[in-house]
Structure 1
């Protein structure tokens, strides 16, 4: 989020505006960006974990179907036992993957909450900056009005002295 220093508010040139908390504002922006990157990474990891879980499901279904199909014409207790052990192994991997997914979901929720909190902090600093910019703009407008008044008073005095025959 860039803040242009040459913004005009109510026709006032704000190029001279210096925000004392600009480094803090940048830090808050960077922290939000860092958190957003972490959230994006968490989303990618979660998506990959869900894809892996889908692969495990597909492998389990395929192995179950293959075991059933193969054992029907060729009953072999040892091969059936190995097939069941492999299915048990797949089931264990599926449970591990479910736990991993649950952990990733919790991490993503925590990161999302951190992002929202950081966005609120950043919004507060941006609002403060806008308030300071408005105040600066109002002060500049008052100074410009005072200068215009002084100029007008000076010209009026000059015109009066010329009208009264005073030489300049």
Structure 2
């Protein structure tokens, strides 16, 4: 973590010596989140493709139904009418299969979303822990620096005292 990204409590100390012991775990959790986000994107794309196919089938169904409605008064032969009704039933069956697939894809997408949220919560917890550890490290450095300054002051004041007494 650089000084510009350090939390406010650690900006006045040199944090280059800070090593976060859980960094490998944090990195692994970040990779898991990235993988889940990629899976979620693929799931969302599959849903969009299924919805597009459902729209295409619905449009074909509507066109066929309109054509049949217009041809009905013309008294087509019964076999042509039966084939047209069969085609409409086939389109409707395909649409229903896509609808079942769409529902399953939505369930999978929702599951992936929940996993992404849970993974993000874990990562946020690790980020807070890292910030707390960095703040504790900064406090320790400040305490060490103050003790060193006190020792320096005491050494200088004890050195200055004999000189004052000698005068």
Quote the Cα distance in structure 2 between the aligned partners of 1:72 and 1:165: 128
Larger helix percent: 2
* Equivalent residues in 2 for 1:95-106, closer than 5 Å: 95-106=96-107
Deviation track 1:43-77 (CA, whole Å, cap 9, x = no partner) reads 11111111111111111000111122234325211
Alpha carbon RMSD of aligned pairs, Å? Answer: 1.4
In structure 2, the residue matched to 1:143 is 144
Q: Does structure 2 retain, via aligned residues, the 8 Å contact 1:5–1:17?
A: no
In structure 2, the residue matched to 1:153 is 154
* Equivalent residues in 2 for 1:51-62, closer than 5 Å: 51-62=52-63
Q: Which protein has greater RCO, CA pairs closer than 8 Å, 6+ apart?
A: 2
Structure 2, unpaired ranges of 5+? none
Q: TM-score, structure 2 length as denominator?
A: 0.92
Quote the Cα distance in structure 2 between the aligned partners of 1:95 and 1:164: 102
User: In the comparison of the two structures, how many residue pairs are matched?
Assistant: 163
In structure 2, the residue matched to 1:77 is 78
Quote the Cα distance in structure 2 between the aligned partners of 1:26 and 1:10: 24
* Equivalent residues in 2 for 1:4-19, closer than 5 Å: 4-6=1-3, 7=6, 9-19=10-20
Quote the Cα distance in structure 1 between the aligned partners of 2:74 and 2:101: 39
